[in-house]
Chain A
Amino acid sequence: GAVVSQHPSRVICKSGTSVKIECRSLDFQATTMFWYRQFPKQSLMLMATSNEGSKATYEQGVEKDKFLINHASLTLSTLTVTSAHPEDSSFYICSARDRTGGRAIQYFGAGTRLSVL
């Protein structure tokens, strides 16, 4: 299947700093990418939909100024957690939609474990 690369896999930062997470589709072009947050023992919670060349669409309750999304190319989307605080500690997962062959499979990155001290 298609590969989505997410980096870094784990990051530990001090409170108040910003953290950038990259998501790349390696063998297909993704006009749409998605960012999820996942708490332990829970399902994936969609944070925002990233559209190449346009502004991201945020889900209700997600602060767009805190979670900055940039989708500058068809293979790269970034999520920046600005002024991170301990409550932002979580598992963040990106996903890219592959529309090849008329399908709409979302492939996921390996996730980023963010720990804010």
Chain B
Amino acid sequence: GESVGLHLPTLSVQEGDNSIINCAYSNSASDYFIWYKQESGKGPQFIIDIRSNMDKRQGQRVTVLLNKTVKHLSLQIAATQPGDSAVYFCAETLSGSARQLTFGSGTQLTVLP
């Protein structure tokens, strides 16, 4: 079936650098996307969302970019900090429907001192 996947299972960045985490989705009907952060032993934490009528959305130190043409989603973290070390999941769904989120496989981000 259709699924959401990630290009890189692990990513290591130096503290202070910018991080980019990528995600590819295959369900062209999806119109709502969310990025979650999961620290070890904890539940996923909402970071930022974006609707398909937008290409870019910014939050605090984070930016999500959506390219509907190639069905690609990315999360950019500015000035990465040690506390950003976690697994990041993208998720997609069809808003207004009862369909649950479909999660990608996750990317482990490690921030090096």
A interface list, Cβ under 8 A from B: 1, 4, 6, 32, 34, 42-44, 46, 49, 91, 93, 95, 103-111, 113
Contact = CB atoms under 8 A, between A and B. Distances in A.
Contacts of B106: 42-43
Interface string B28-54: 000010101000011111100100000
A106 B101 contact: yes
B11 to A, nearest CB: 15
Given A44-B44, A93-B43, A108 B36 contact: yes
Interface residues of B, number: 22
Q: Which of B36, B46, B93 has the most CB of A within 10 A?
A: B46
A34 B101 CA distance: 10
Given A32-B98, A104-B95, A105-B49, A43 B103 contact: yes
A49 B101 CA distance: 11
Given A93-B44, A113-B41, A44 B89 contact: yes
- Interface of A, helix, strand, loop or mixed by DSSP: strand
Contact of B43 (A1, A43, A109): A109
A103 B32 CA distance: 9
Interface of B: 32, 34, 36, 41-46, 49, 89, 91, 93, 95-96, 98, 100-101, 103-106
B43 A110 contact: yes
Given A104-B93, A104-B95, A106-B34, A46 B49 contact: no
15 contacts: A43-B104, A43-B105, A44-B103, A46-B100, A49-B98, A49-B100, A104-B95, A104-B96, A105-B34, A105-B46, A106-B46, A106-B91, A108-B45, A108-B46, A110-B43
B103 A107 contact: no
Nearest to B47: A1
B3 to A, nearest CB: 10
Contacts of B91: 106
Contacts of B104: 43
A92 to B, nearest CB: 10
